[in-house]
Structure formats: C-alpha cells, structure tokens
Amino acid sequence: MPRARAPGRDAIRRAADVLRAGGVVAFPTETVYGLGADASQADAVARVFAMKGRPATHPVIVHVSSAAEAARWAAAFPPLAKRLARAFWPGPLTLILRSNGRACPETTGGLPTVGLRVPSHPVARALLREFGGGVAAPSANRYGSVSPTTAAHVRDDLGAEPDVVLDGGPCDVGVESTIVDLTSDEPAILRHGGVPQEDIERVAGRPVPFRRPGRVRASGTHARHYAPRHARLVTATAGEAARVAADALRDGRSVRVLAPRRPRGLARQAEFVAVPAAPRAFARRLYRLLREADDARVGVLVVVAPPDSGLGAAVADRLRRAAAGSRGRRRG
Ligand code: TXA
Ligand code: MG
C-alpha cells in the first residue's frame, strides 16, 4: 500500500481554516479516522451528521489539543479525570464529564455532559493546535459501517463529501477510544477501546467496571455498526474453526478463516488468512480485515479471536457486535 506523505504545515493551516469557516475535515487519529467540525458551531456539526447519515440525537466526542484545553469544556475537571488525563492523554481515552455549555447541543446530543479526548496522532495534534478550539468528530464512516482506519476507507465511505481529507497513513491502534464516564461517583467504562480496562483501573486505584450505556444513545453500542456488510461473521476457537468452516461450506457459502495458524483439518475450499496472535496487533488490523472480507464478497468469515487481555477486550467486544449484527441481517 502506498504510504502517503504526511500533510505539511500548509495543508494543516488550510484544514484549520476550513473548520473555522464551518466546514468538515476528515483527519487521522491513532484510533480511527474522524469526521470533524467546530464543536461550537451547530450548523457545522449538523453537516457531519448529514454526511454520516447518523441520527442527530447521538452525542459526539470533542477533540482538543491538551488537558488544559479539555478543562475549558467541562463544568468541573475532577481529580480522577486529572489522573487519567495525565496517564493516557494524548491517547485513545475519552472522558465523559459535565459540560459547561461551550459544546453546542448538536455536539452533546442535548445531554448535560460532554465527551473529551486528546488524540496522539501527530496530524490530529497539529490540526487541533492550529485550530485552537474543539473539534467534534465521530468516526469518518457512513452510519452503520465499520470505522475507517485509512484515508482510502474514508473516501470509500464518504466520497468527496468532506471538504478536506487529511491522509496520515494507517491508524496505529485500529479500534476506537476507551470511553470512561466520570459524571457520577461510580466511574464506569462505556466502551472498551484503545486503553485497556486493566490500565484504567491501575491508574484509578479502584475498579472501573464496564457499564452498558442506558439512557445515553451511544452509537458505538449498536450491533450492526461493527458488522461487515455482506459477510456473516462467526467467532470460533482454534479447535472449532475447521468444523464451523465445514458447516458453512456445506451450506454453499464461501468461507474465509482468520486465525494465527491454519486450523487443523480445515477444508481445502476454505480460504485461510493468517492474522496476528497478539491482541494489539490484531486490533490494528481488525477493521481492515472486515472491509477486505466484504470487498472479496466472502460469505462466512470465521474469526479465531486473540486472548481477551489488554486490547483483546476491545477486539472481543467488536467481534461480538459484528457477529450479532451480521446474524440479524437478511441475506440476498
Ligand atoms: O476513537 C474514537 O473515539 C473515535 C476517534 C475519531 O476519536 N471516535 C469515535 O466516535 O469513535 P463515535 O462518534 O463513532 O463514537 C463516540 C461515542 C459514541 O458512542 C457516543 O455515544 C459517545 O462516544 N459519547 C460522546 N459524547 C458522549 C456523552 N456526552 N455522553 C455519553 N457518551 C458520549
Ligand atoms: Mg463510530
């Protein structure tokens, strides 16, 4: 894959001007590509929703250049927020805090809270520093498809709709940020992501359990968001993979198996793709693998998942949703 040259200072300056003028900029972060607009301009944020085809009631994350800037968007920045920010920013962590109203209701989905994140990708950092304010940005994919981890994915999904697409190469983390809700006395993880739960708890010095978002409409919590468009996704252990593949072949479906090693007894007609055994390396490739399965019109995608530790929890979460999402869909 040709690696694009990183956008230079002029390109960053132009992109920041586009944001100030109410335009929409797709930009790389270390997790996935974001589709950004000025978080204080309602019309600009509305354009992002329209481009994605996403319901306007979903809150989006505000991206800023530093923890000091993040504090300017929150009614309070509690001690635990400071500790987590110091440990993981810039990086793949989003903190939900009480909003001070600077983020427009289009950004917060009308909630009294705001999601804040300081990304670490050098292009995102340069853009946010140059822009100075907050950039409201969901992942730069059409609503209901997997998040983009390259600029080409963004163009595949959104074509020429964004005013600017900054190409910063493939994303390093490959899955979205971990979301930690700090708006009550009981901190909770709303979405597993690029910072493992173990690391959050170590810094917090207390358990930070996963809590299924209830009242909050979190888009990343719907099953079909992680489902490939055509392929039916099935997870299997290394020991089960050959049998699952054989069943699918018997149903007349084409089969691709993703596993660290070719499963024993795998039928010759099943296609095998070797994937990293380590959770972090697997996470980096996950969304690309799902997109590639669709591009190849694979019927059934059998995935042998990496261990659940570290980034494995985020991977397991996305695979579970992808499997559920692809099961619930009608086949043509
Ligand atoms: O890694 C990421 O987080 C990427 C990159 C671009 O930063 N962004 C991302 O955005 O995944 P999106 O919109 O696809 O997912 C954002 C999640 C949603 O589930 C949303 O509900 C939640 O963040 N969120 C945002 N603001 C919130 C708030 N005030 N309260 C609760 N959840 C919020
Ligand atoms: Mg998304």
Go through 174-184 and write b for each residue having 16 or more CB atoms within 10 A of its CB, e for each that does not: bbbbbbbbbbe
d(CA 216, CA 213): 6
Question: CA nearest 199: which of 218, 181, 178, 184?
Answer: 178
- The residue behind tokens 């659940």 is 308
316 pLDDT exceeds 90? Answer: yes
Residue 191 has φ and ψ, to the nearest 5°, of -150, 125
3-state secondary structure (DSSP) of residue 67: helix
Nearest CA to ligand 1 atom 29: 114
Q: How far is the CA of 142 from the centre of ligand 2 (A)?
A: 9
Q: How far is the CA of 137 from the centre of ligand 2 (A)?
A: 9
Residue 188 is which amino acid?
Answer: A
Q: How far is the CA of 41 from the centre of ligand 1 (A)?
A: 18
Residue 317: Cβ within 10 Å count: 19
Question: CA nearest 74: which of 58, 92, 56, 62?
Answer: 62
56 pLDDT exceeds 90? Answer: no
Tell me what the pLDDT averaged over the chain comes to: 93
Q: Is the CB of 137 under 6 A from ligand 1?
A: yes
What per-residue confidence (pLDDT) applies to 88? 98
Q: How confident is the model at residue 268 (pLDDT cuts 50, 70, 90)?
A: very high
Q: Is the CB of 91 under 6 A from ligand 1?
A: no
What per-residue confidence (pLDDT) applies to 214? 67
220 pLDDT exceeds 70? Answer: no
- The ligand whose atoms approach the alpha carbon of 106 most closely is 1
Which of 3-7, 71-75, 136-140, 318-322 is predicted with the least confidence, judged by mean pLDDT? 3-7
Ligand 1, closest atom to CA 137? 6
Mean pLDDT of 58-86: 97
Q: Is the CB of 178 under 6 A from ligand 1?
A: no
DSSP tag of 268: T
331 pLDDT exceeds 50? Answer: no
204 pLDDT exceeds 70? Answer: yes
Ligand 1: residue of 48, 65, 93, 176 to mutate (most ligand atoms within 8 A of CB) is: 176
Q: How confident is the model at residue 328 (pLDDT cuts 50, 70, 90)?
A: low
- The residue behind tokens 């504090």 is 71
- Provide the total of helices (H) and of strands (E) in the chain, helices listed first: 11, 13
- The residue behind tokens 């070797």 is 274
Q: How confident is the model at residue 327 (pLDDT cuts 50, 70, 90)?
A: low
Which helix (DSSP H) or strand (DSSP E) does residue 227 occupy? none
Q: Which one is predicted more confidently, 3 or 43? A: 43
- 140-191 per-position pLDDT tens digit: 999 888 999 999 999 999 999 999 999 999 999 999 999 999 999 999 999 9
Residue 171, both tokens: 């994303």
d(CA 231, CA 216): 30
pTM reported for the whole predicted model? 0.94
What per-residue confidence (pLDDT) applies to 330? 42
Torsion 239-244-147-157 (CA) sign:
positive
Residue 67, both tokens: 């923890």
- The residue behind tokens 């380590």 is 278
Nearest CA to ligand 1 atom 19: 218
Q: Is the CB of 67 under 6 A from ligand 1?
A: no
What per-residue confidence (pLDDT) applies to 223? 57
- 108-118 per-position pLDDT tens digit: 999 999 999 99
Q: How far is the CA of 164 from the centre of ligand 1 (A)?
A: 21
Q: Is the CB of 58 under 6 A from ligand 1?
A: yes
Mean pLDDT of 33-44: 97
For 133-278, where are the alpha helices, taking DSSP H only?
151-158, 197-204, 241-250
Q: How far is the CA of 157 from the centre of ligand 1 (A)?
A: 19
d(CA 135, CA 116): 10
3-state secondary structure (DSSP) of residue 180: strand
- The ligand whose atoms approach the alpha carbon of 136 most closely is 1
Q: How far is the CA of 147 from the centre of ligand 2 (A)?
A: 6
Ligand 1, closest atom to CA 217? 21
Q: Is the CB of 61 under 6 A from ligand 1?
A: yes
Residue positions counted in the chain: 332
Q: How confident is the model at residue 332 (pLDDT cuts 50, 70, 90)?
A: very low
- The ligand whose atoms approach the alpha carbon of 33 most closely is 1
d(CA 177, CA 193): 5
